Amino acid sequence: MGLEYVRISPGFEKYMPKDYVDLVQYGQFGKQIDVQQLGQFKELVEEHPMCAGCFMAYFVRVFYAALPNPEDTIVIGTAGCARLALSQAAVPFIYGNYGDTNAVASGLKRALSIRFPDKTKDVVVIAGDGGLIDIGFGMTMHSWFRREKFTTIMVDNEVYGNTGGQESGMSPKGVQLKMAPKGKQFDKINAVELAKTAGCVYVAKLSPTNPKRIAKTIKRAILAARHFGPTFIHAYTSCNIEYSIPTEKVLEDARKREKQDFAFYEWMTDEVKEFFEEIEKKTEEVKA
């Protein structure tokens, strides 16, 4: 149905909240937005209660602007910081139990495929390092082993931010956090290699320094999941509170990490590569 359910029935415009009318008239539904136009259209997520200077909030904002099909997308999250913004977006959002995202997404995607075999319905999980790689690890991995067709985006702030700053499996070795009073004893888990081994068809790792590239990566991950299988993006989204990064230094920190362990990385199967080449060829033909 897509756009049909978003549109306001004629005559009802003046009774709908202005916010909703703006979404339909000046929002992204039914359009492809260039992420560099952020601030010039009605965004899917505007207000959120995340901390000042939070880079995860910025990433989430870019994520929504990048959705290829927002009117037919369902986002799934779990406990953690990201859901504070995800739950306020104009895209259906499911918040289940602790770390259950990839199991819920498996059931949901299958149900939608049964009910709407001829329609495109994108399912995207956005959860943190704790949700996906600690408590939800088994479900994350098995959704990939089963080749479930949805996208998983890990917003990695290297800490349990929402519960007050505890160590996670993705915290760097040696970092002193709550529940790691002597510093973390083991290395950051290599989520990207796990994703490749487990059967993801498109895997990317990034530090959010370049909005255009973030948007392209998100679009690719969603399109590849639609047609081929599980896809995964590992995004560094620092916690400026628990890691004491001054607000004005958040971007600087992201650039620094990009030079260290978060250099942009993109991997895909040959099949997916051909698919994107085909799409890009068509786009160029249209332009020409």
Partner 1 sequence: MPEQKVVDADYLLLEAPRERKFITGAQAMAEAVKRANVDIAIAYPITPQSEVMHLVGDIWAQGYLKDYYRAEEEYGAMSAIAGAVRGGARAFSATSGPGLLRGLEAIASWPGHRIPAVLGVLTRVVNAPLSIQPDNVEISYLLNCGMVVLHAENQQDVFDFTLASFVISEKVDVYIPIAVCTEGFFVTHAKGYVNMTPEDMKLPPRDPYKAPVPPTDCEIPPARIQRDAPVQKSNFMSYLIHAVWQQEIWASNIRAMKYIYKYLGGPIEVVNPEAEVFIVASGCAAAQGREAVRYAQLEGLNVGLVKVKSIRPFPEKEIREVLSKAKAIIVPEHNIVGWLAKEVKATIPNNDIVIGGPRVYGGMTLPVELIMEKVYQALGIKKEKKVVV
Report how far Cα 6 is from the mean position of its chain's Cα atoms: 22
Rounded CA separation 213/217 (Å): 6
**Of the candidate residues 105, 154, 170, 239, the single one contacting partner 1 (CB under 8 A):** 105
Segments of 80-210 assigned E as strands: 93-95, 122-128, 151-156, 202-206
Segment lying near partner 1 (by CB under 8 A), choices 139-147, 171-179, 190-198, 264-272: 139-147
Distances (CA, A) of 165 to 157, 177, 244: 10, 6, 11
Q: Measured from the CB of residue 248, what is the shortest distance to partner 1 in angstroms?
A: 28
23 in contact with partner 1 (CB under 8 A)? yes
- Could you say whether residue 225 binds partner 1 (CB under 8 A)? no
Is 5 near partner 1 (CB under 8 A)?
A: yes
Q: Is 32 helix (H, G, I), strand (E, B) or coil?
A: coil
**Six-digit token pair at 108?**
């949901």
The C-alpha R_g of the chain, in whole angstroms, comes to: 19
Q: CB of 154: closest distance to partner 1 in angstroms?
A: 18
Distance in angstroms (rounded) separating the CA atoms of residues 242 and 122: 33
- 45 vs 215 by CB, closer to partner 1: 45
* CB nearer to partner 1: pick between 33 and 204: 33
Name the 3-class secondary structure at 15.
helix
Q: Which of 146, 249, 257, 273 binds partner 1 (CB under 8 A)?
A: 146
Question: Is 219:172 a contact under the CB 8 Å cutoff?
Answer: no
- Cα distance between residue 95 and residue 83, in whole Å: 8
Binding of residue 134 to partner 1 (CB under 8 A) = no
Q: Which of residues 160-219 bind partner 1 (CB under 8 A)?
A: none
Report the residue number, 104 or 153, with the smaller CB distance to partner 1. Answer: 104
Judged by CB under 8 A, which of 48, 58, 81, 109 binds partner 1?
Answer: 109
The tokens describing 148, both together, are: 């479930």
Binding site for partner 1 (CB under 8 A): 1-2, 5-6, 20, 23-24, 29, 49, 71-74, 76, 79, 83-84, 87, 89-98, 100, 103-116, 121, 138-139, 141-142, 146
